[in-house]
Amino acid sequence: MCGIVGYVGTTSGTTALDVVMEGLARLEYRGYDSAGVALVAEGQVAAQKRAGKLVNLRQALVDAPLPASRTAIGHTRWATHGGPTDQNAHPHRGGDDGKLALIHNGIIENFHSLKTQLLADGVGFASETDTEVAAQLLAQAYAGDLTEAMRTVVNRLEGAFTLLAVHADNPGVVVGARRNSPLVVGRGEHENFLGSDVAAFIGHTRQAIELGQDQIVTITPESIDIIGFDGAPAQGKPYEVTWDAAAAEKGGHRSFMAKEIAEQPHAVADTLLGRTDESGRLVLDELRIAEEDLRRVSKITIIACGTAAYAGMVAKYAIEHWTRIPCEVELAHEFRYRDPVIDSTSLVVSISQSGETMDTLMAVKHANDLGAHTLSICNTHGSTIPRESDAVLYTHAGPEIAVASTKAFLAQITASYILGLYLAQLRGTLSEEEIAEITHELGEVPHKLSHLLDSMDRVREIARFMADSRSVLFLGRHVGFPVALEGALKLKEIAYIHAEGFAAGELKHGPIALIEPGQPVFIVVPSPSTAHGLHGKVVSNIQEIRARGARTLVIAEEGDDDVVPFADEIIRVPATPTLLAPLLTVVPLQVFACELATARGLDVDQPRNLAKSVTVE
């Protein structure tokens, strides 16, 4: 995905370029292969762009300053079509006169056929991108009205896209359009903003407008006009952003990832806030699905990708146990291609931090087509997936800037637990007393997280000691299995180390062949109070791998002495009910990955080849 910013204004004390560069700095997590800006000044469009991170663009602007302007657009890119080069960086020009500039997030699926037509018309291209096709089409369509030209062009495009454009003949105007890709409006005093995320303008206004699907927005310093792709007037949905600019800054931490790990007690507490009435019953006002329909649900399918999928795997154990409804977890990008068995008694739950993950969005649309009820668990107000779903359960983790998800993961698990308990309440599969007890235990988790985070010094020491490791394995059972998968993913994402997570019971079915002297293995140990004797079975796994020379790094709850003889290192977590344990046991693995990657001199917030969410399928 890419970060996009647009600005028009007459407010004194700042320039359009300042606003856009500030916005790009806040959005660099969305893409950092290249960056560029374009502004309207003196009857021209002036632009600058550079491959690499935003610092390269900053230096280019110092070396060759652009003229003062009140109208600008900016872009930070995660490359899809064409490599990360100066030529492929956005903005792209359209037309021979260079008066038009355009930036783009997403993929234009029919760009090749459109480019072939343009080449036949004698149009030349300076890049390998699909974006330049849109720029050239917009230049062809322009006849004095940039909004109407945009409407003409978007109706020729297929795929997912957000487009922002400026034209030298229309100073004080930025036009944007969105289809299956994020775009939000910021409303100010004598200034207005566009961005792929409210972080783009949170330093200037908290007043935002949510755009609908297939809409075009035109901003000037004094106006915000919205129409559909068909030209009909349309309305956006105003809302106020509940966090401020400081929430999108590091706040004294070495990295955003470190900051977001530290914010997890608040992320869980805020996601729990306001979910019960005065009598203690769960109340989910965001759910727009009738209670009777929820009572009739015969199957739950959770769809997600990456870390969100592991949150869904944790949720499956709790939801099935509490509701007695069969629950399965699907990778969203596989869901609609396997002809899933879904009907009107199915509940499809999507999990996405950004609400823009394209694989998940298309899976939600497929579920809607099949007649299922769809519910989104999401952290981003006004994003696409909640709008395409029948209902939404918002997490309240605040902005998550680091590419590797941490606090959003815990908030997603928390929200999933709330959903499971709510369904159990509706269906009567748990008593009021049982629900109240679990809800109380959930309410204790933020305090336990704070205690745990204060005791991570030894984990950081271990990480620094292991900075040269070439492979790390992770084992877990029951809810510890998805925690093991998530621990391995974090290490792969930000430290570029081979890491694998396994269900501990699978060890003797093949993976034990990987064990050799010195092999580091993290083991997530269930509580001794866990049913079915799982604790003893995992302790036996530790013995098996220790006997073959593994270095055992054991995550066990306080007071579990059975692991002591077989652990090279013991990382203690506060005791908590089994189904809630992942909210604690994953934290040392997050801290370990963050510290190890930092010790290796890597950028933990912006790992190579990755962006915060994937807005192409």
- What DSSP string describes 133-149? HHHHHHHHH-SS-HHHH
Tokens coding 446: 């933020």
In the set 49, 316, 490, 612, the catalytic residue is: 612
Going by C-alpha positions, the residue among 113, 34, 110 that lies closest to residue 74 is: 34
Same domain, 16 and 165: yes
Same domain, 284 and 431: yes
CB 50 within 8 A of CB 66: no
Same domain, 377 and 240: no
The mean pLDDT of 175-197, rounded to a whole number, is 92
Taking the alpha carbons of 340, 358, 616, 94 in that order, is the dihedral positive or negative? positive
Tokens coding 552: 């055992």
Same domain, 410 and 444: yes
* Identity of residue 416: S
**For residue 470, is it within any domain?**
yes
The mean pLDDT of 204-211, rounded to a whole number, is 92
pLDDT of residue 13: 67
**For residue 57, is it within any domain?**
yes
Of residues 321 and 77, which shows the higher confidence score? 321
- Picking from 435, 453, 471, the residue at the C-terminal end of a domain is 453
Going by C-alpha positions, the residue among 338, 318, 319, 320 that lies closest to residue 330 is: 338
pLDDT of residue 245: 64
CB 60 within 8 A of CB 89: no
pLDDT tens digit sequence for 129-183: 989 999 999 999 999 999 999 999 999 999 889 999 999 999 999 999 999 888 9
Same domain, 280 and 418: yes
Same domain, 461 and 436: no
The mean pLDDT of 214-226, rounded to a whole number, is 96
CB 373 within 8 A of CB 289: yes
Integer Cα distance of 117 and 157 in angstroms: 13
Residues 6 or more apart whose CB falls under 8 angstroms from that of 234 comprise 212, 215, 226, 227, 228
- Picking from 220, 248, 276, the residue at the C-terminal end of a domain is 248
Helix (H, G, I), strand (E, B) or coil at 464: helix
> What's the mean pLDDT when you consider all of the chain?
92
pLDDT tens digit sequence for 543-592: 999 999 999 999 999 999 999 999 999 999 999 999 999 999 999 999 99
**For residue 615, is it within any domain?**
no
Hey, which residues does 237 pair with through a beta bridge?
Answer: 210
For residue 244, pLDDT beyond 70: no
* Percentage above 90 pLDDT, the chain: 76
pLDDT of residue 537: 92
For residue 274, pLDDT beyond 90: no
Same domain, 221 and 302: no
Helix (H, G, I), strand (E, B) or coil at 121: coil
Tokens coding 322: 């509490």
**For residue 608, is it within any domain?**
no
pLDDT of residue 79: 73
* Percentage above 70 pLDDT, the chain: 97
Poorest-pLDDT segment among 215-229, 435-449, 596-610: 596-610
Integer Cα distance of 104 and 81 in angstroms: 12
The mean pLDDT of 444-455, rounded to a whole number, is 96
For residue 12, pLDDT beyond 60: no
The mean pLDDT of 454-480, rounded to a whole number, is 96
**For residue 112, is it within any domain?**
yes
Query: Residue 434 — very low, low, confident or very high, per pLDDT cuts 50/70/90?
Result: very high
The mean pLDDT of 58-74, rounded to a whole number, is 94
**For residue 260, is it within any domain?**
yes
Q: Is 612 a catalytic residue?
A: yes
Tokens coding 346: 């199915």
Block residue for tokens 């795997």: 313
Of residues 249 and 597, which shows the higher confidence score? 597
Same domain, 193 and 168: yes
* Identity of residue 11: T
**Alpha helix positions (H), 430-557:** 432-453, 457-465, 480-495, 534-547
Phi, psi of 230 (to 5 degrees): -85, 0
Number of domain units in the chain? 3
pLDDT of residue 481: 97
For residue 518, pLDDT beyond 60: yes
pLDDT of residue 609: 81
Integer Cα distance of 363 and 350 in angstroms: 9
Same domain, 232 and 161: yes
Integer Cα distance of 533 and 536 in angstroms: 6
Instruction: Compute the chain's Rg from CA coordinates.
Output: 25
DSSP string, 138-187: HHHH-SS-HHHHHHHHHTT--EEEEEEEEETTSTT-EEEEEESS--EEEE
Query: Residue 511 — very low, low, confident or very high, per pLDDT cuts 50/70/90?
Result: confident
Integer Cα distance of 363 and 367 in angstroms: 6
* Domain region containing 263: 256-453
**For residue 613, is it within any domain?**
no
For residue 30, pLDDT beyond 90: no
Phi, psi of 191 (to 5 degrees): -160, 145
CB 289 within 8 A of CB 424: no
Going by C-alpha positions, the residue among 406, 372, 409 that lies closest to residue 391 is: 372
Same domain, 373 and 326: yes
Integer Cα distance of 38 and 48 in angstroms: 7
* Identity of residue 1: M
For residue 102, pLDDT beyond 90: yes
For residue 357, pLDDT beyond 70: yes
- Picking from 453, 486, 512, the residue at the C-terminal end of a domain is 453
The mean pLDDT of 239-259, rounded to a whole number, is 79
pLDDT of residue 61: 94
Same domain, 424 and 524: no
Going by C-alpha positions, the residue among 290, 175, 187 that lies closest to residue 227 is: 175
How would you class 232 by CB atoms within 10 Å of its CB: exposed for 0-12, middle for 13-18, buried for 19 or more? exposed
Residues 6 or more apart whose CB falls under 8 angstroms from that of 116 comprise none
* Identity of residue 534: L
Query: Residue 198 — very low, low, confident or very high, per pLDDT cuts 50/70/90?
Result: confident
Same domain, 349 and 490: no
Query: What CATH number corresponds to the domain at position 324?
Result: 3.40.50.10490
**For residue 214, is it within any domain?**
yes
In the set 2, 305, 378, 594, the catalytic residue is: 2
Integer Cα distance of 296 and 526 in angstroms: 34
Going by C-alpha positions, the residue among 438, 448, 459 that lies closest to residue 268 is: 448
Q: Is 327 a catalytic residue?
A: no
